[in-house]
Amino acid sequence: MSRLARYNVTTEEMSGGSGKVTHFEGTPIPTSFLIVLLMTLGAWMGAIGESMWFGAWRIGPFTLHPLVLVYAVSGLLMISRIRIPKP
């Protein structure tokens, strides 16, 4: 939602007054499909639950699967200032 909100606010600035956006700012939303493929590959290879890649970390009463951090990184890249030319 942060990405969409920022896009709506900055669209005019990114278009340079032409009305057409020439680039993405932050990674495009379809790049999250790569995460789906990664998780599908892991499930296909049997990396589920305790056998998930990179294991599980106990932090107090919580369990953290480090692979979940991929979602956090992806989200941060989506709202970053990285400019990606639009095809």
Task: Quick: pLDDT tens for 46-74.
Answer: 888 778 888 888 899 998 888 888 888 98
CA dihedral (85, 30, 37, 58) in degrees, to 10, reads 100
Q: Give the global pTM.
A: 0.65
Boundaries of every domain in the chain:
2-85
Q: Residue 10 has what pLDDT? A: 67
> Are the CB atoms for 79 and 6 separated by under 8 Å?
yes
